[in-house]
Chain A
Amino acid sequence: MTRKTIINAIGLLLFALAPLIAAATGKTFLVSLCTQFAIYALAAVSLDLILGYGALISFGHSAFFALGGYTVGIVGFHMSQGDTLLGWAGSHSALVVWPLAVIVAALVGLVIGFLSLRTSGVQFIMITLAFSQMVYFILVGLMVYGGDDGLAIDARNTLPGINLASPDVFYYTCLALMALWMVLCRRIVHSPFGMALRGLKQNTRRSVGLGYAPLRYRITAFVLSAAGTGLAGALWANYALFVSPDMATWQKSGEFMSMVILGGMGSIFGPVAGTVVYLGLEQATTAFTEHWMLIMGPVLVLVVLFGKRGIYGWLTGGKYHD
């Protein structure tokens, strides 16, 4: 067993036991915090798929997070008005709404990716930022759905045989989806497609010289990444029972990026570690100061300067992630 396997196993075990630990210590907020970890980690792993493996610095991933959330919010809103999706009574099922949220995020990701992947470097960062700002202002303008104030959601979506209203059950559902997404992403980055994407990151000129068409690979990765982030948004809407344009702010995109960088770009487990540390530190420091970024900022700077492979790289040792 390598050091990496041990670290991954400990992490997974802690995640799995969190509700038991919370119950034993009486700190019930732990379940809620860990649910946030799982949801944000899902988004961070998705972002890392293009950031770490494709060197595509998207500064607009909050848009997909918000779109996933608003899909849940808007469907919930119409359900509470007595409407259904295409007249179907099961429209409140997670099996319908969550895939719908993923599809919405993926389709918008396809359009944004198609337009922005023609650029690279700083232009790409700015264009993705611009698109997410567009989504933000559209959401602010949607007065029917609360505009600036956001939209409260009556109840969580339903799953047959699973009571999502229970905090523990909802936590395990989020955890399972996060784990599933991680397995999927791991397969993707080791597949021929993933190798081609990572090749483009390391040396685009070489890849083109070998006959790889960059746009096809990058756009596919971008859509997959948007889809995962959309799912995270849908889960967040269910967790908070509230969506607002704040989900689409550039600060949110920055948070996702910080989590990935903190944890270690170009690894599947790194962003999870980054999410836990980022949100954990936020939680711990906001207890005694509202200027918690004063602590987070220097930590991020140190990680970027001295540990390019992030917390996960530091934990697992070695020189390379895979």
Chain B
Amino acid sequence: MTEQARLDIRDLRKSFGAVKATQGVNLSVRAGELHALIGPNGAGKTTLLSQIGGEIMPDGGSIVLDGRDITHMPAQKRPAAGLARSFQISQVYPEFTVEDNAAMAVQAHMPGGFNLWRNARRDARLREPARRALERAGLGHRLDERVANLAHGEKRQLELAMALCMDATLLLLDEPMAGLGAEESLRMAALLRELKGQYAILLVEHDMDIVFSLADRVTVLVYGKTIFTGTPDEVRAHPEVRAAYLGEEDTSVGVNQ
């Protein structure tokens, strides 16, 4: 199992003063797997993603990506190791156009990114992959729009398109559905379903319907600890998970919206 794991996290720990945000997380994401990470608010999901992304350095434990220890690698080097991250609150370039934004994600891993002379906006090597990813994310009709003018849902789509431009093997998606309308959520879910199998995906999501319908495996995080990993059915049936997260009485729907 370890051989085919894209991402392998062992006994990860992180404290902020007296607050133990991460206390012994074990998690592995296999190649081509959509792995959901769920847990109540404050369980440390985003803190965990930030440690995988390199924004926060863990106190102990290890993070291995494609067999390579990236525990202490600086954040800006991790994309080259195969990691792409989308943020819970859309992180985009507001003054640039939609196409510029995606092209920035292409440029980051292209040789010649330090060129001071060529016109970046007329470079097909940057623009074509950007357009393809935007088309895929459903933004093909908004290429020349300033990102500041985009609706919230479109920014989420853009964020995902940028992750697709990054030539990654592992996608970390932090609540891609957050704040989306019903229709936009459906479109995003369809896109995630399409991406499934092509990338290893670690998905943090509060919408339990989506999690249980999309995920191959689900890991439950409570108070900074991974308490269970299993298929959606196993998770739904697990008594400890029900007590900790899904609510003792109500077992059918997620309560943490």
Q: Mark A174-201, 1 if CB is under 8 A from B, else 0.
A: 0000000000000110111111101100
The answer to whether A209 and B87 have CB atoms under 8 Å apart is: yes
The answer to whether A211 and B109 have CB atoms under 8 Å apart is: yes
Q: Interface of A with B (CB < 8 Å)?
A: 187-188, 190-196, 198-199, 202-203, 205-214, 216, 220, 320
Smallest CB separation, A73 vs chain B (Å): 31
The answer to whether B105 and A210 have CB atoms under 8 Å apart is: yes
- Choose one: A187, A190, A196, A208; the contact of B104 (CB below 8 Å): A196
Given contacts A192-B114, A195-B104, A206-B87, 15 further A-B contacts (CB under 8 A): A188-B117, A191-B116, A194-B116, A195-B96, A198-B93, A199-B93, A199-B104, A202-B95, A202-B96, A205-B55, A205-B87, A209-B85, A209-B87, A209-B91, A320-B146
The answer to whether A212 and B76 have CB atoms under 8 Å apart is: yes
The answer to whether B120 and A192 have CB atoms under 8 Å apart is: yes
Smallest CB separation, B137 vs chain A (Å): 16
**Residue B53, interface by CB 8 Å:** yes
The answer to whether A211 and B76 have CB atoms under 8 Å apart is: yes
| A195-B104, A195-B107, A211-B79 known; A206+B92 contact, CB < 8 A | yes
The answer to whether B75 and A208 have CB atoms under 8 Å apart is: yes
Would you list which residues of chain B between 70 and 122 have a CB under 8 Å from chain A?
74-80, 85, 87, 91-96, 100, 103-105, 107-110, 112-121
The answer to whether A210 and B162 have CB atoms under 8 Å apart is: yes
In angstroms, Cα B256 to Cα A38, docked, is 63
Smallest CB separation, B160 vs chain A (Å): 13
Q: Interface of B with A (CB < 8 Å)?
A: 53, 55, 74-80, 85, 87, 91-96, 100, 103-105, 107-110, 112-121, 123, 126, 146, 162, 166
Chain A residues lying within 8 Å of B78, measured Cβ to Cβ, are 211
The answer to whether A210 and B166 have CB atoms under 8 Å apart is: yes
Smallest CB separation, A268 vs chain B (Å): 14
Q: Enumerate 24 A-B pairs (CB-CB under 8 Å) in ascending A order.
A: A188-B116, A191-B116, A191-B117, A191-B120, A192-B107, A192-B113, A192-B114, A192-B115, A192-B120, A192-B126, A193-B115, A194-B116, A198-B95, A203-B92, A206-B91, A206-B93, A207-B104, A207-B108, A210-B104, A210-B108, A210-B162, A212-B76, A213-B77, A216-B114
A-B CB proximity, top 8 nearest? A211-B79, A206-B91, A210-B108, A211-B108, A192-B120, A202-B93, A195-B120, A193-B116
Chain B residues lying within 8 Å of A214, measured Cβ to Cβ, are 76
Smallest CB separation, B163 vs chain A (Å): 9
In angstroms, Cα B119 to Cα A191, docked, is 5
The answer to whether B76 and A213 have CB atoms under 8 Å apart is: yes
Smallest CB separation, B141 vs chain A (Å): 21
In angstroms, Cα B108 to Cα A195, docked, is 11
Smallest CB separation, B39 vs chain A (Å): 23
Smallest CB separation, B159 vs chain A (Å): 9
- Choose one: B80, B115, B126; the contact of A211 (CB below 8 Å): B80
Residue in chain B with minimal CB distance to A216: B114
| A209-B79, A210-B105, A211-B78 known; A196+B113 contact, CB < 8 A | yes
- Choose one: A187, A193, A209, A216; the contact of B75 (CB below 8 Å): A209
Smallest CB separation, A131 vs chain B (Å): 25
| A198-B95, A211-B108, A320-B95 known; A191+B77 contact, CB < 8 A | no
In angstroms, Cα B165 to Cα A209, docked, is 13
The answer to whether B116 and A209 have CB atoms under 8 Å apart is: no
Residue in chain B with minimal CB distance to A266: B95
The answer to whether B109 and A205 have CB atoms under 8 Å apart is: no
In angstroms, Cα B227 to Cα A240, docked, is 75
Chain A residues lying within 8 Å of B75, measured Cβ to Cβ, are 208-209
The answer to whether A192 and B91 have CB atoms under 8 Å apart is: no
Chain B residues lying within 8 Å of A190, measured Cβ to Cβ, are 119-121
Chain A residues lying within 8 Å of B93, measured Cβ to Cβ, are 198-199, 202-203, 206
In angstroms, Cα B91 to Cα A109, docked, is 31
Smallest CB separation, B250 vs chain A (Å): 37
- Choose one: B76, B100, B146; the contact of A195 (CB below 8 Å): B100
| A202-B96, A210-B108, A211-B108 known; A191+B87 contact, CB < 8 A | no
